[in-house]
Structure 1
Amino acid sequence: MRQPDIEIYLKDADVDHKQITAWLTEAVGPCSEWKQKGQTFKCTAGDIPVTWLPKAVGKWNSLYLESDNTPWEDDIACARAAFAALNVEVRCAPGSWVEEEGEDDADRWIRISADGEEEITWRTS
């Protein structure tokens, strides 16, 4: 089932919103100019609103695509594509998480890196 939006976290090694622009332009469509408000950057890729939040969780940058009209079925498919294109470690939730599922499930994440793909526990709060 297609997720209503996509959110992935990219390790803050050498990735910035300019590299994200190049990848999104190729994968989704041309990106508008980024507009910065405080620490947050926003643009539109194709017709999809995009938010880039550097260091959202420690060294991890959040990439949020506010649409169900992306080329990816879910966060994991997007994370795999981001890793393939950018060669940077990516983390995402294993599926749509809702508060009713409880705090334990909130710490379940998928890690995609040069080591492969694995489920990890990542306490983000």
Structure 2
Amino acid sequence: MRQPDIEIYLKDADVDHKAISAWLHSALGECSEWVQKGQTWKCKAGNIPVTWLPKAVGKWNSLYLESDETPWDDDIACARAAFAALNVEVRCAPGTWVEEEGEESADRWIRISADGEEEITWRTS
């Protein structure tokens, strides 16, 4: 089932706006200029609103695509595409998390890196 939005986390030292913009441009369409609002950066890739939050969780940057009209059905598909294009470690939730699932499942993440793909426990708070 298609997720209503996409959020992935990219390892900090290995990626920047320019690389993200180039990847988003090829995947979603032309990117507008990035506009900084406080700690976040926003742009549009094609017609999809994009938010980039550097160091959202420690050394991890959040990339949030606010649409269900991306080429990816879910966070994992987007994370795989990001890793393939950027060659940077990516983490994402294994599916849409809802509060009723409890804190334990909130710490379940998928890690995609040069080592492959695996489920990990990542305590983000």
Asked if these proteins are the same fold (TM beyond 0.5), I'd say yes
Gaps of 5+ in 2: none
RMSD of aligned alpha carbons: 0.5
Secondary structure, counterpart of 1:9 in structure 2: strand
Cα deviation code 1:63-115 (max 9, x no counterpart): 00000000000000000000000000000000000111000000000000000
Runs of 4+ residues over 3 Å off in structure 1: none
Amino acid corresponding to residue 95 of structure 1 in structure 2: G
Cα deviation code 1:7-65 (max 9, x no counterpart): 00000122011110000000010000000011100000000000000000000000000
Q: Distance in 2 between matches of 1:123 and 1:17?
A: 26
Between the two proteins, the alignment pairs up a number of residues equal to 125
Q: Which of the two has greater helix per residue?
A: 2
Question: If the length of structure 2 is used for normalisation, what is the TM-score?
Answer: 0.99
Aligned 1:52-91 pairs, distance under 5 A: 52-91=52-91
Match of 1:113 in 2: 113
Q: Decide whether the 8 Å contact of 1:13 with 1:88 is kept in 2.
A: no
Sequence identity (%):
88
Q: Distance in 2 between matches of 1:18 and 1:123?
A: 29
Gaps of 5+ in 1: none
Question: If the length of structure 1 is used for normalisation, what is the TM-score?
Answer: 0.99
Match of 2:102 in 1: 102
Q: Distance in 1 between matches of 2:21 and 2:42?
A: 11
Q: Decide whether the 8 Å contact of 1:72 with 1:78 is kept in 2.
A: yes
Secondary structure, counterpart of 1:30 in structure 2: coil
